[in-house]
Amino acid sequence: MQRYENKVAIITGGGGAIGGAIARRLSSEGAAVAVLDQLGDQAERMATELETGGGKAIAVTADITDKPAVEAGVAATLEAYGRIDLLVNNAGYTKSGSIDDLDPDEFNKELNINLTGSYICAAAVLPSMIEAGRGAIVNIGSVNGRVAVGNPAYSAAKAGLYSLTQSLATEYGPKGVRTNMVSPGTIETDIYTWRVRREKNPEIFDVLARWYPVGRVGQPEDVAPAVAFLGADEAGFVNGANLMVDGGLTCGLAPMIEEMILE
Ligand SMILES: NC(=O)c1ccc[n+]([C@@H]2O[C@H](COP(=O)([O-])OP(=O)(O)OC[C@H]3O[C@@H](n4cnc5c(N)ncnc54)[C@H](O)[C@@H]3O)[C@@H](O)[C@H]2O)c1
């Protein structure tokens, strides 16, 4: 199956765990990949890994909140491969676990990276997609955008990202550009908040597993196939969707059901 033969994808945060899994997946399906990350060495490492595996890849060092840097990264991708078929808005960040931890600067920082940064990247790829009359954007949301599970500023940003997904889907669908969202539940990665929680409780992912109807938390490789589907031509009639990749977490309260069943 080579759904991405002759196609080009930009993956923001591509040097990280979920972004890396998405990069590997798209590359294995034939895509040339621009691995965009603010950490240049991580982007380089991932691009080298893809090339060593026989794929085509370039590394782009850019902060997604820096419009000129993002535009330069998009220009470099077009220069290298001549087209952009898919943008995966995956770069994300959160630090503050509760409202009490927040101040306006941190609140704005989390909004800026998770929401404004995704808008900046979308705006940067849209001209070439509109000109080509085709393209896809997949935004990485979170269960936090749907229900309150901590990290309130990040959650507000991810909820806003779904609104942005709907606006993009509606405004650019007629121009051939589809936009969808993938919203993962707990994914075992080293993103800041999980690193801190794991330091406090090394069993954190096992503890959280009981909330998940599938009996486990997710892995980065659980997210990648959903992104690959939404970005591919076969999803041509899927536009503005929010695909939960959360093992059923947000469809019910599994531990509550367990507690209600007394025999
Ligand atoms: N891990 C989870 O449980 C989980 C759950 C739901 C959603 N998500 C989302 O998945 C995405 C990836 O998370 P992850 O767990 O792989 O984290 P990660 O820390 O492994 O990867 C994030 C990557 O984004 C990059 N990045 C951060 N800010 C950036 C910026 N301003 N500009 C450019 N690059 C930037 C980082 O350098 C890093 O390489 C994020 O959007 C996150 O919100 C994660």
Q: What strand order describes the sheet that includes 8-12?
A: 56-61, 32-37, 8-12, 86-89, 135-140, 177-184, 242-245
Q: Residue 258 above 90 pLDDT?
A: no
- Which of 38, 67, 242 has most ligand 1 atoms within 8 Å of CB, for mutation? 38
What is the predicted pLDDT for the residue at 1? 60
**pLDDT single digits (tens) 172-181:** 999 999 999 9
Task: Show which residues are catalytic.
Answer: 154, 158
Number of domains in the chain: 1
According to the model, what pLDDT value does residue 43 have?
98
- How far is ligand 1, taken at its centre, from the CA of residue 213, in Å? 24
User: Mean pLDDT for the chain?
Assistant: 97
Residue 67 lies in a domain: yes
Residue nearest to atom 36 of ligand 1 (CA): 13
- Place 262 in a pLDDT band, splitting at 50, 70 and 90: confident
Is residue 210 situated within a structural domain?
Answer: no
Asked if residue 198 is part of any domain, the answer here is no
157 within a domain of the structure (yes/no): yes
Question: Do 126 and 134 touch, CB atoms closer than 8 A?
Answer: no
Asked whether residue 49 is assigned to any structural domain, the reply reads yes
By the 8 A CB rule, do 110 and 157 touch?
Answer: yes
Atom of ligand 1 nearest to the CA of 114: 41
Whether the predicted pLDDT of 263 surpasses 80: no
Residue nearest (by alpha carbon) to ligand 1 atom 4? 187
Percent of the chain with pLDDT over 90: 96
162 within a domain of the structure (yes/no)? yes
Kindly state whether residue 262 falls inside one of the protein's structural domains. no
What pLDDT does residue 107 have?
A: 98
Q: Which residues of 217-247 are buried (b: 16+ CB within 10 A; e: fewer)?
A: bbebebbbebbbbbbbeebeeebbbbbbbbb
Residue 224: which domain range? 8-191+218-251
In a domain, 176, yes or no: yes
CB of 92 sitting under 6 A from ligand 1: yes
With a 6 Å cutoff on the Cβ, whether 16 touches ligand 1 is: yes
Ligand 1 atom with minimal separation from the 94 CA: 43
Predicted confidence (pLDDT) at residue 129 exceeds the cutoff of 90: yes
**Would you say the CB of residue 160 lies under 6 angstroms from ligand 1?**
no
CATH of the domain at 148: 3.40.50.720
Quote the ligand 1 centre to 91 CA distance (angstroms). 4
